[in-house]
């Protein structure tokens, strides 16, 4: 336990144009807080730093400044995904990494459920018809009884399953290992069964982390394995999907539609064909960002910081070899 006379040094690494995270006054009472926003400033703040809070999860500054991290024990990423933060020296070293698992699970699940219902009730066409003042009666789908496949049955996938089951969807998942007695899924299938499961699903949701195994997982072959009537939703990571293959499959009618919150290239270029496809919904990497999320992230870090100061086990520990926090 650290005494008040010897406050530990905590470095907060933010994006260059990012404001200070809210709620850090409570941290200042317990630690010396330093701020960095790029490689140069990080090289100045890292010596003596024992804990890092990283809000810029796309940064490469940490890898570049790593030789100056002489006392670092723990890095906390204020994001669920930690793929961009990882580099060999961190993966192979003794520094503990934690993430923000749990903060965004419910709101992302709400986003997914909203997307499914919008497709079922044909809201994209209703919005377009409203814009041109056209009254056009149609019949729409029932969500109840349709089959949802959640690719990545982790904490976010579990919340998706719970909400989707509540409206009558039959929810299946995929994970590293199969399990038949999961309380929230009809069944969780092994990743090896993905192609077979794709062919059975009416909706496919990507909720997996970005790892070497999932990068480019959804290519043309994967989309061709899906039903032609299926809709695809990605709230995981953009590089899990080969965008050109997705566009080609949509144009060929190999799948019926897509809702995308994350992309290989962000921001999505204004000239990209996805913008103008009538069967595609796009949002700007915002599925989990609820009002007050920044303060909630700081509160979560402070809870873990208390545990660290007391010498207790940290929650949301990332398995650095796997690239995500495994419960």
Closest to 237 (Cα-Cα) out of 266, 258, 277, 257: 266
Would residue 266 show up in a list of annotated catalytic residues for this protein? yes
- Cis peptide bond prior to 267, omega within 30° of 0: yes
Please check whether residue 39 is in contact with residue 66, taking contact to mean a CB–CB distance below 8 angstroms: no
The answer to whether residue 137 is catalytic is no
Angle (deg, nearest 10), helices 105-120 and 155-166: 40
Candidate list 18, 44, 265, 266, residue with the active-site label: 266
Catalytically annotated residue among 147, 220, 285, 294: 285
Angstrom distance (rounded) from CA 74 to CA 57: 15
Instruction: Please indicate whether residue 285 is annotated as part of the active site.
Output: yes
Q: How far apart are CA 317 and CA 211, in angstroms?
A: 16
Per annotation, catalytic residue among 76, 237, 242, 254 = 237
Give me the helix-helix angle, 123-131 and 105-120, nearest 10°: 70
Q: Return d(Cα 279, Cα 7) in angstroms, integer.
A: 55
Active-site residue list: 237, 266, 285
């Amino acid at each position: 336990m650290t005494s008040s006379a010897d406050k530990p040094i905590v470095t907060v690494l933010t994006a260059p144009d990012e404001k200070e995270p809210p709620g850090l006054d409570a941290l200042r009472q317990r630690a010396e807080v330093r701020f960095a926003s790029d490689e140069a400033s990080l090289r100045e703040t890292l010596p003596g730093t024992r804990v890092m809070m990283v809000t810029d999860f796309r940064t490469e500054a940490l890898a570049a400044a790593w030789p100056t991290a002489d006392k670092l024990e723990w890095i906390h990423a204020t994001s669920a995904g930690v793929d961009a933060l990882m580099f060999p020296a961190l993966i192979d070293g003794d520094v503990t990494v934690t993430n923000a698992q749990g903060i965004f699970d419910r709101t992302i699940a709400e986003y997914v459920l909203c997307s499914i219902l919008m497709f079922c009730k044909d809201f994209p066409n209703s919005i377009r018809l409203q814009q041109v003042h056209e009254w056009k009666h149609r019949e729409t789908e029932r969500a109840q009884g349709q089959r949802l496949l959640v690719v990545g049955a982790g904490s976010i996938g579990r919340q998706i399953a719970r909400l989707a089951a509540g409206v009558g969807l039959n929810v299946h998942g995929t994970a590293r290992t199969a399990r038949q007695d999961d309380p929230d899924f009809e069944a969780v299938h092994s990743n090896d069964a993905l192609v077979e499961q794709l062919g059975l699903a009416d909706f496919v949701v990507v909720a997996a982390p970005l790892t070497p195994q999932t990068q480019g997982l959804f290519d043309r072959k994967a989309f061709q394995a899906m039903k032609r009537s299926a809709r695809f939703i990605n709230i995981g990571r953009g590089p899990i999907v080969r965008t050109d293959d997705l566009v080609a499959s949509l144009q060929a009618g190999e799948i019926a539609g897509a809702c995308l919150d994350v992309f290989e290239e962000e921001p999505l270029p204004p000239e990209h064909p996805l913008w103008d496809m009538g069967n595609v919904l796009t949002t700007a990497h915002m599925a989990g960002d609820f009002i007050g999320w920044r303060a909630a992230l700081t509160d979560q870090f402070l809870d873990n910081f208390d545990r660290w100061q007391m010498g207790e086990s940290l929650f949301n520990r990332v398995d650095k070899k796997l690239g995500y926090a495994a419960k």
